[in-house]
């Protein structure tokens, strides 16, 4: 069963990509006390993720902040080095990259996908969440192959 509005974020280890290298964080600690816009992509450097998903949140970062979002975070079943390089390539300092290298966070959310047919293994689905002090306010999960409801534009319309 996947995460729903009103649920607490599961407490699992993530790895934050920083300029000083990977830093382990517990999801319960990371999401505590703030309102965070989280989006998940199947993989860094993949076509839709790089051309539309990440750039949309970069472009709308100030608009999201004006609507009460304290931080924007992106997660993917990639390592922190890949996510850090992807953020340098097409992201911004407004986006925090949270690596879910083993897919534990995606699994705990109930939002895994099986990308083995594409040589990608188990991944996180494309989705977005608004999390306020560790509690989910909004859940937007894409149908396979779609990019609509997890976009920054859609999230702005919900806030």
112 alpha-carbon distance from chain centroid: 13
Could you identify the residue written with the tokens 């494309």? 126
Question: Taking CA 16 as the corner, what is the angle to CA 23 and CA 102, rounded to the nearest 5 degrees?
Answer: 100
Q: Which residues are catalytic?
A: 49
Structure tokens at 144: 């396979």
Q: For residues 25 and 14, is the Cβ–Cβ distance under 8 A?
A: yes
């Amino acid at each position: 069963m996947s995460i729903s509005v009103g649920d607490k974020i599961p407490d699992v280890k993530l790895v934050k990509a920083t300029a000083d290298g990977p830093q382990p964080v517990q999801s319960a600690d990371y999401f505590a006390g703030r309102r965070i816009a989280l989006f998940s992509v199947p993989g860094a450097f993949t076509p839709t993720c790089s051309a539309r998903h990440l750039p949309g949140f970069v472009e709308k970062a100030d608009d999201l902040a004006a609507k009460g979002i304290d931080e924007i975070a992106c997660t993917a079943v990639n390592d922190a080095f890949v996510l850090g390089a992807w953020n340098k390539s097409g992201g911004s300092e407004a986006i925090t990259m949270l690596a879910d290298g083993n897919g534990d966070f995606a699994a705990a959310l109930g939002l895994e996908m099986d990308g083995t047919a594409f040589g990608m293994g188990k991944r996180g689905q494309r989705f977005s969440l608004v999390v306020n002090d560790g509690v989910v306010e909004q859940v937007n999960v894409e149908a396979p192959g779609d990019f609509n409801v997890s976009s920054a534009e859609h999230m702005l319309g919900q806030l």
